[in-house]
Amino acid sequence: MNLLSIMTGSAVVARVAPFAFFILLTFAQSYAGEVGRSWLYLGKTLLAGWMLWTVRQVVTEMRWKVSWEGVVVGVGVFVLWVSLDPLLVKLGLANSYPKMKLSGAAWNPHAIFGAGSTLAWFFIVVRLVGSSLVVPPLEEVFFRSFFYRYLARVDFLSVPLGAWLPVPFVVTSILFGLEHREWLAGLLCGFAYQGLVCWKKRLGDAMTAHAITNCLLGWWVVTRGQWQFW
């Protein structure tokens, strides 16, 4: 039995495998050096994209949906993400907010491949595309569709998508927050995206919100030189 048949033959594997492989390669990036880290990001993005495309008929809730609610949440989370650090500094709480991220230190391709070089811009585009089009369905399917419902019942498909479940709501958002260096922003972000799924009773709005947040954050990083967010 090959990987393709395994992924499409199990509701759990179809929703977990793309995220699991992505996280595994994210861990590997920490040991690949600066150049290797960039190529691994390309590799994990292509692999995750292929896996998501492969399971699209199995993961029926993985459908993009553009709505004003999703746009508002996406923009709002972006503003929160870039504003939280300065706010904590002003409040004198920065030292109590240690950051961590699975993929290691901030990544600046201009410093790695040369300022303005073709290779630097290539990897910037890869990062923008990956974070805006691959990461949103990848993470929303795992966290909001699978993990949230699995915490309520092993037979997670029997739990309606968007059902209000207080404990899974908190636990899923905490796990989502801990996946990011800006864990506090990630926690609040998790609340926002999960709340959107509970509100709209579908995944597509949260995917759109997540994509807008990541796209705007990528624009902020590149135009402002705020590489610490990457």
Model confidence pLDDT, tens digit, residues 153-205: 999 999 999 999 999 999 999 999 998 888 889 999 999 999 999 999 999 99
pLDDT of 96 reads 58
Can you spell out the DSSP letters for 12-44?
HHHHHHHHHHHHHHHHHHTTSHHHHHHHHHHHH
Residue pLDDT, tens place only, 33-47: 889 999 999 999 999
pLDDT of 197 reads 98
Query: For the chain, percent helix, then strand, then coil, each to nearest 5?
Result: 75, 0, 25
Residue pLDDT, tens place only, 74-130: 999 999 999 987 777 777 666 656 665 555 567 899 999 999 999 999 999 999 999
Dihedral, CA atoms, 209, 204, 45, 174, nearest 10 degrees?
Answer: 60
Distance from the Cα of residue 135 to its chain's centroid: 5
pLDDT of 9 reads 74
pLDDT of 218 reads 97
Percent residues over pLDDT 70 in the chain: 90
CA distance 154 to 176: 20
